Amino acid sequence: MVGIPFNLQRLQYLDQGDLTDETTLRFHDVVPGGVLSLCIWHYDGWTDLVVAAVEGDPNKLSCLGTTEDSFYRTANSEHLEGAEWKQWIAQRAFVALYIGSHRGHFEAVRYLLEHGASCLGRSPVGRTALHVAAAMGRLDCITLLLEHGASIHDKDAHGETPIATARRLHRKQSERRMFLLYWLAKSGAKGRSELAVKKFFRQTVPSWGPRGSRSGSS
């Protein structure tokens, strides 16, 4: 719902005490109408990164360890080298991409993808950036992600693909955009720009009836 991987979330209730993992709201005696506060764990600089991603500011993201040439360091990352450093950067870049895609921050998403963020990364429950972009109807971000190698076939932990997510949430435009871009790629089209999408849409959609079957008499 908030577009932030749950392993970074820290819930607080009333006295600012943290709600521990693997427990229910009933266990904590949360009363009807009670307010839960969503915070982010402070360790390893995650709070600053999540805030920058929510704001969609590429300049801030560039200074917070989302690219391999970044000078940003935390108490943890200053000891990392080689593959461990690259993995640390990749994880941060994915989180920023995931949040940016959920919020529809086109420029931030483009910056991250152009600087090495992988759209194949997954949240703890197996969701990709395309899943959340589709869920929220972020058409521009959907196009960007697919242009950089995202797959409409990736399934989350519940076996749901991005298209299935869009269908369940009644995001018809998201579903249509992914379908069209997928078939553009299958047809060998070199570009998947907005113009190409519209042209492809004009060529194919009129020949189909409202239920996906060919219109006209047989």
Last residue of a domain, one of 68, 87, 118: 118
| Predicted local distance difference test score (pLDDT) of residue 25 | 77
In a domain, 111, yes or no: yes
Judge if 95 and 135 occupy the same domain: no
Tally of domains in the chain: 2
| Predicted local distance difference test score (pLDDT) of residue 213 | 39
| Predicted local distance difference test score (pLDDT) of residue 189 | 61
Secondary element (H or E) of residue 10: strand 9-13
55 vs 103: CA distance, rounded Å: 9
Judge if 188 and 95 occupy the same domain: no
Judge if 57 and 127 occupy the same domain: no
In a domain, 68, yes or no: yes
| Predicted local distance difference test score (pLDDT) of residue 185 | 80
* Residue 59: how many other CB atoms lie within 10 Å: 9
In a domain, 42, yes or no: yes
Judge if 157 and 180 occupy the same domain: yes
Judge if 54 and 150 occupy the same domain: no
In a domain, 218, yes or no: no
Last residue of a domain, one of 92, 118, 144: 118
Judge if 180 and 107 occupy the same domain: no
Last residue of a domain, one of 118, 147, 175: 118
Instruction: Report yes or no: 120 and 150 within 8 Å, Cβ to Cβ.
Output: yes
Judge if 124 and 174 occupy the same domain: yes
Instruction: Report yes or no: 3 and 103 within 8 Å, Cβ to Cβ.
Output: yes
In a domain, 211, yes or no: no
In a domain, 213, yes or no: no
| Predicted local distance difference test score (pLDDT) of residue 196 | 55
Judge if 5 and 74 occupy the same domain: yes
| Predicted local distance difference test score (pLDDT) of residue 133 | 97
Q: Which residues does 167 contact at the CB level (< 8 Å), separation at least 6?
A: 175
State the pTM of this model.
Answer: 0.82
Local mean pLDDT, 10-residue blocks, the chain (218 residues): 90 79 79 87 94 96 94 92 94 97 97 95 96 96 94 95 96 94 76 52 42 39
| Predicted local distance difference test score (pLDDT) of residue 194 | 52
In a domain, 28, yes or no: no
Instruction: Report yes or no: 53 and 108 within 8 Å, Cβ to Cβ.
Output: yes
CATH number of the domain to which 147 belongs: 1.25.40.20
CA 63 from centroid of its chain's CA atoms: 20
Judge if 125 and 199 occupy the same domain: yes
Judge if 123 and 97 occupy the same domain: no
156 vs 210: CA distance, rounded Å: 29
Q: Domain range spanning residue 79?
A: 1-23+33-118
Nearest 10 degrees: CA dihedral of 161, 165, 168, 172?
A: -110
